[in-house]
Amino acid sequence: MKNETERSHPTFMENWRLYLSDCCTNSSMHGFKFLGERNRSVVERFLWLLILAICVFFCIINILEAYYKWQLSPVVVSFATTETPVWEIPFPAVTICPEVKAEKKYVNFTELVLMTKRGEQLNQQQKKHLKYMSFICSNEWRDHIWEDGDLISEDFYEFLFEVHPKADETIDECLWIGRNCTGSIRSLFTPIITQDGICYSFNLLDRNDIFRDDVAHNYYNSRNIPNQRSSNWSLEKGYGDELDQDAMPRRTFIPGIVGGLQLTFWGESNNLDYICSDALQGYKVSIHGPSQIPFTDESYFRVGLNEVLVAAVRPMIVSTSKQLEGYHPDSRKCYFPEEKRLTFFKQYDQYNCVHECLSNYTLRRCGCVSFHMPRLNSTPICGHGKNVCVARSAAALFMVNKNKSEPDDSDEPDFVEKCDCRQTCSSLSFATEISQTEWRWQKRERALSEDGSRKKMKDEYSKLQIFYKDLQFITSERNELFGLMDFLSSCGGLFGLFMGFSFISLIELVYFFSLRLFCNYKKYGSHYWSGDADLLELKVE
């Protein structure tokens, strides 16, 4: 029979209950001490347990909301705190497309159309000229004049360059930041193939800085078109310490007309063609970024004959902070240039991506691409027989409602999604304020000289002036709206509001269930590891 004074060791559950009571009593979190206090009734403990459960529930609900905000809306676009001067950004690229598509000494499109309408027989050369001109002229006559043919050959580009007015014949006078550039027009204005045929671009980066090596532009070499200076500029890094005014892309250092581009256009009256250009005469002008290939059918304004057009440009820049580089593009809604590789272009840009996507999509649907689209040397060029297919491809690609796709092209939405032409994280665009007035240059010429002047009174002249409106402008910044520290701050604030929880409280929990537990075990043994005073007194007894 056991001695009455002999006591059994406390059980594990008894040690655990006493240890949790000690932990709750000494915790810095609100309400837990009432759970750990001894000699409390069951009703009291249940009440405080319910209150703590409700607080934890509301904490979790609000933390989840903060987490979704962190994941779905981490970026905000706001105004920068400082202004940017105009010399830190390039002057816009200016693309000029004359409405005169061909000099009549080479091709008389109106005469060819009238011959066709009269039922007269055309020779092979006339048929070829009519066919090629119909690609860049008004669509009104195409149903009556083209011959069926799915593809055209490379000599189409040679034809365009042969018949189109040259840049130095189109631009009669040129002033750039107050310097006369009339003698350098061919080197300053780069020919570029667009939907309107041949256009001329000022301040467009060299083709070697825009296109990859395997992109087809053989006509540049065959026509001995000069290269622009190589560019080290980027929107993210800027110009660096380079102060050369002729560095590509070119920039200005002062606002107003003196610091801008002034052009006088000349057109020979005999070359005006009212059938090819749908009776519209003058020049189409597009203003865009120096690294972008323009959409001349979508964003442009017109300079009419015998008119002066003044375009005051206001640059719009959106930059992105380095903090957002770690975010997924789906979160920040943009691409950094190095994040997405394009097949035809060296640097990612949203507009260039759209050009490339349209070209690839047209090739996929039609087996060829339109003459103005970027392509590889081996890619066929669509003829008139593919016009309907090309038009439908463009419409299907840019259709907002993907469900309108044709039934036999059920994978179209996937193709469009693969294009993924997001905004560029650092983007440059231009807003333009235009004023236009009649230019009565003939009266001026008559007043200057009774014998006439250098300008031919029967010809057509127009003037274009493009400049930056202000010396400085405010940029926009894409910054982190809700980062990791903001999320942690929200969590800490919610826990502190509902439960008085802090970082020290977390350390207390770790301490109680690690180091303190281990030390108690070493100090009091495996039977009294809770360290409770009452149990230790029994042990002594």
Q: Per residue in 193-210, pLDDT tens?
A: 998 889 999 999 998 888
200 occurs within a structural domain = yes
What band does 407 get if pLDDT is binned at 50, 70 and 90? Answer: very low
Q: Are 456 and 495 part of one and the same domain?
A: no
Which CATH number do you get for residue 147?
A: 2.60.470.10
347 occurs within a structural domain = yes
Structure-model confidence comparison of residues 529 and 113, the more confident one: 113
What band does 219 get if pLDDT is binned at 50, 70 and 90? Answer: confident
- What is the value of pTM for the model shown? 0.76
333 occurs within a structural domain = yes
Structure-model confidence comparison of residues 348 and 148, the more confident one: 348
Q: Are 133 and 244 part of one and the same domain?
A: yes
Contact 367, 361 (CB under 8 A): no
What band does 462 get if pLDDT is binned at 50, 70 and 90? Answer: very high
When pLDDT is averaged across residues 92-112 and rounded to a whole number, the result is: 91
Residue 146 has pLDDT above 70, yes or no: no
Q: Are 273 and 349 part of one and the same domain?
A: yes
Q: Are 383 and 487 part of one and the same domain?
A: no
Last residue of a domain, one of 433, 462, 480: 480
518 class by beta-carbon count within 10 Å (0-12 exposed, 13-18 middle, 19+ buried): exposed
- Domain hosting 457: range is 80-480
Q: Are 286 and 239 part of one and the same domain?
A: yes
Q: Are 160 and 64 part of one and the same domain?
A: no
Structural domain tally of the chain?
A: 2
2 occurs within a structural domain = no
Q: Which residues contact 384 (CB under 8 A, 6 or more apart)?
A: 131, 134, 135, 142, 146, 147, 148, 149
Could you tell me the two tokens for 148?
């069926």
Q: Are 367 and 492 part of one and the same domain?
A: no
Pairwise CA distance, residues 146 & 113, whole Å: 10
Structure-model confidence comparison of residues 291 and 30, the more confident one: 291
Pairwise CA distance, residues 347 & 359, whole Å: 17
What band does 456 get if pLDDT is binned at 50, 70 and 90? Answer: low
Predicted local distance difference test score (pLDDT) of residue 171: 93
- Ranges 160-164, 298-302, 374-378, 405-409: which has the least confidence: 405-409
When pLDDT is averaged across residues 297-318 and rounded to a whole number, the result is: 90
137 occurs within a structural domain = yes
Predicted local distance difference test score (pLDDT) of residue 227: 84
Could you tell me the two tokens for 470?
């202000």
What band does 235 get if pLDDT is binned at 50, 70 and 90? Answer: confident
Q: Are 419 and 492 part of one and the same domain?
A: no
Predicted local distance difference test score (pLDDT) of residue 406: 45
When pLDDT is averaged across residues 107-122 and rounded to a whole number, the result is: 87
6 occurs within a structural domain = no
> Residue written as tokens 């026509």?
223
Last residue of a domain, one of 435, 461, 480: 480
- Ranges 71-85, 112-126, 237-251, 444-458: which has the least confidence: 444-458
- Ranges 130-139, 335-344, 399-408: which has the least confidence: 399-408
Q: Are 348 and 467 part of one and the same domain?
A: yes
Give the torsion sign (CA, 468, 470, 472, 478). negative
Predicted local distance difference test score (pLDDT) of residue 3: 46
Q: Are 326 and 380 part of one and the same domain?
A: yes
Q: In the beta sheet, which residues pair with residue 437?
A: 308
Instruction: Give me the count of residues in the chain.
Output: 541
Could you tell me the two tokens for 537?
């007194």
Q: Which contiguous run of DSSP H or E holds residue 194?
A: strand 189-194
189: DSSP letter: E
Pairwise CA distance, residues 489 & 474, whole Å: 31
Q: State the amino acid at position 473 in one-letter form.
A: F
Q: Are 68 and 111 part of one and the same domain?
A: no
Q: State the amino acid at position 64 in one-letter form.
A: L
197 occurs within a structural domain = yes
> Residue written as tokens 């987490």?
67
Pairwise CA distance, residues 480 & 477, whole Å: 10
Predicted local distance difference test score (pLDDT) of residue 57: 85
Residue 236 has pLDDT above 60, yes or no: yes
Q: Are 99 and 201 part of one and the same domain?
A: yes
Last residue of a domain, one of 432, 463, 480: 480
Give the three-state DSSP class for 128.
helix
Q: How many Cα atoms sit within 13 Å of 500 on the Cβ side? A: 8
Start-to-end Cα distance in the chain: 20
> Residue written as tokens 């090629």?
132
7 occurs within a structural domain = no
Q: Which residues contact 429 (CB under 8 A, 6 or more apart)?
A: 289, 315, 316
- Torsion, Cα 368 370 376 378, to 10 degrees, reads 40
